[in-house]
Structure 1
């Protein structure tokens, strides 16, 4: 499949963290969408990646738009699309920049989602190990700052009390901005059928992938931290 260097309708997977994005990403890879931009591309230590999103966050917090089409097209060159945060925190900008794109909105029971986030992404934003690494590693410092600012954009800096409301607001925004024929609301428990129908792909003759429980999340975080030591 063409990447965004020549394809101008990147796939937009705009679910927030812990909505089944890792399993969905693996499934999409099996359907030809092998390269989806996500937080791992920032976490791997390229300072230009973090700088892009920190600049976008600050613009948004000041009441502006995070980026324009030329800026995000340059960032996504070589990718089939974007998934999860940081991109999902800029759902409005992405939909405006790529009005022709298909959009997938992964969803999950809000209470289950909130409980999962409290054990993973919320804790990661204030992780003492990440904080210690930030003292001497500039890339980690930028990454940690981005995690904190994303919490501010999405949940007003109070995930414990405002997380569910932030999730509902995000999902409502996506539903409002994306034409119905271009939007698939999806739960990974639904498996291949609705996903393949939406994307016009043949259904693979294998089980739908399942991955990224809480333990896997923290193993990935610690592996990333070890690389920065």
Structure 2
């Protein structure tokens, strides 16, 4: 599935849509990155920040973990942020679509063999102690939870990951099949960037390079 299969229609910056869950009151739409690990989700998050969207990459806070353990996709962070990215979103994107009508979704993709090599390297690295006050044990528990939910395993397994990648891209394509204006498939690693992302979100293309973070 190539990114070029999806050609979203440029639009004005999206507007709140009334939600029946909240008595018809408008809820501001969100932006969600539903790409798998090592597909450029961190770069996407930085780019969304440049475009004016306060989006959280792979949240590892206690409230998020408790929410997931309770089987809910009502992430507390979404009350104060514009969206989420990375595998935190992957198992719950359909729930988030229902909870936040009018939201936009960005599926980051990557050439398959390159992606598998990057995943292997990433999985072999231990969790770092960043010295920023994060609870390393909490982060480890959340990592195990999400890896099991998304990949069905905790350790790297190339063929399993390959199947997960292909199924995820295909399932997202089917889910948004009649909603091309709500989904952007973006190959950040392959060089795509603001020229596609900014029009999709209805904001100007910034005069600066697209961020590429590891």
Query: For 1:50-81, what per-residue CA distance to the aligned partner results, in whole angstroms no more than 9, with x for missing partners?
Result: 2223x15xxxxxxxxx325xx33x43111011
Q: Distance in 1 between matches of 2:93 and 2:127?
A: 30
Which one scores higher on RCO, CA 8 angstroms, separation ≥ 6?
2
Which residue of the partner structure matches residue 164 of structure 1? 162
Alignment of 1:122-141 (within 5 A): 122-124=123-125, 127=126, 139-141=135-137
TM-superposed CA distance for 1:123, in Å, is 2.8
Q: Does 1:67 align with 2:72?
A: yes
Decide whether aligned partners of structure 1 residues 129 and 209 sit closer, same or farther in structure 2, where only a CA change above 3 A counts: closer
Residues 38, 85 of structure 1: 8 Å contact kept: no
Residues 25, 36 of structure 1: 8 Å contact kept: yes
Q: Distance in 1 between matches of 2:213 and 2:80?
A: 25
Which residue of the partner structure matches residue 60 of structure 1? none
Structure having the larger proportion of residues in helix: 1
Residues 50, 143 of structure 1: 8 Å contact kept: no
Q: How does the TM-score come out when normalised to structure 1?
A: 0.70
Residues 42, 57 of structure 2: 8 Å contact kept: no
Decide whether aligned partners of structure 1 residues 98 and 118 sit closer, same or farther in structure 2, where only a CA change above 3 A counts: same
Q: Does 1:174 align with 2:172?
A: yes
Residues 108, 187 of structure 1: 8 Å contact kept: yes
Which residue of the partner structure matches residue 15 of structure 1? 35
Residues 151, 159 of structure 1: 8 Å contact kept: no
Coordinate RMSD, CA, aligned: 2.6
Alignment of 1:149-228 (within 5 A): 149-157=145-153, 159-160=156-157, 161-178=159-176, 179-188=179-188, 189-212=191-214
Q: Distance in 2 between matches of 1:96 and 1:176?
A: 16
Q: How does the TM-score come out when normalised to structure 2?
A: 0.74
TM-superposed CA distance for 1:185, in Å, is 0.6
Decide whether aligned partners of structure 1 residues 38 and 129 sit closer, same or farther in structure 2, where only a CA change above 3 A counts: closer
Q: Distance in 1 between matches of 2:127 and 2:171?
A: 33
Residues 45, 56 of structure 2: 8 Å contact kept: no
Unpaired runs of 5+ residues, structure 1, are 57-65, 131-137, 213-229
Name the SS of the counterpart of 1:194 in structure 2: helix
